[in-house]
Amino acid sequence: LEEQIRRSDRLKTIGQIAAGTAHEIRNPLTAIKGFMQLLNKTLTERNMSKEKEFVRIVLSELERVNDLVSEFLLLSKPKEIKQVSMRIGRVLQEILPMIRNEAMLYNVTVLYYPKPELNSIVADKELLKQVFLNLGKNAIEAMNGGGTLIIRECSHPDQLGKIAVEISDTGTGISADALEKVFDPFFTTKPQGTGLGLSVCQRIVHDLGGNIEVSSDEEGTRFTVWLPNAAGESEKEIQASGGERSSYD
Ligand code: ADP
Ligand code: MG
């Protein structure tokens, strides 16, 4: 619990700093990007390929700063959640094309196991998409030499009133040491990482009344996102009528 308080204090501080500066950073970024794109056009017209390469690098670095600022903004955002009733499958369907696209670059196979009989959830779709995109991206990044990403909807008799989404990978796994820190803001083991993805995920899921679990070994990693369903306890009936267990356990 102390650990959680420490974490949430840290998040709050970061949030306050972020709120004050993120917008101020983003506005000039937008201007820089716009002029760089103009420059790019001119360089194309004049066939200046060396200079174009410089511009390409500037634009991709700009993209990185922009991503970082976006994550800051998400962390600092006050809880303004648009709660809508939806099926979790709808959220996942919308991000699957993006995940599959990314997976292709890493030689990763994506398997998706929907479970349409699950109860609806009440949540903010855009925020949830952010969560599963971040988790999917991390999973793919952990499988540089290829592997399998499994996205599975499920429920559990011990967790009535909740639905779960499991994101499992066959990647590098997370060391016991790192496992304690993965949700800490700025904790990253990647040369170009921000270390903010999982803190954003955790923040969002907590705001939606859910929680995230992680387990990992040398065979891979699994993140489980638990979310309260819209009907509470009536999930019991679904379980009773024979919710099948996947062999991936
Ligand atoms: P970033 O991706 O920018 O490093 P995150 O907060 O998304 O930041 O993740 C923090 C760290 O947690 C990563 O740098 C990585 O070490 C570890 N991690 C997260 N997801 C996975 C995964 N699926 N497999 C292995 N390591 C992971
Ligand atoms: Mg990440």
Q: Per residue in 21-55, pLDDT tens? A: 777 888 889 899 999 999 999 999 999 999 999 99
Ligand 1 atom with the smallest distance to the CA of 199 is 6
Q: Residue by residue, what is the 3-state secondary structure of 108-132? A: EEEEEECCCCCCCEEECHHHHHHHH
Ligand 1 atom with the smallest distance to the CA of 182 is 12
- Kindly state if the Cβ of 4 falls inside 6 Å of ligand 1: no
123 C-alpha to center of ligand 1: Å?
25
Ligand 1 atom with the smallest distance to the CA of 194 is 3
138 C-alpha to center of ligand 1: Å?
5
Is the ipTM of this structure higher than 0.90?
A: yes
Q: How confident is the model at residue 239 (pLDDT cuts 50, 70, 90)?
A: very low
Mean pLDDT across 148-174 = 95
In sequence order, what are the residues at sequence separation of 6 or more whose Cβ sits closer than 8 angstroms to the Cβ of residue 214?
A: 174, 179, 182, 221, 222, 223, 224
0.90 exceeded by pTM? no
pLDDT in tens, 67-114: 888 777 777 665 567 888 999 999 999 999 999 999 998 999 999 999
CA 20, CA 15: separation in Å to the nearest integer? 9
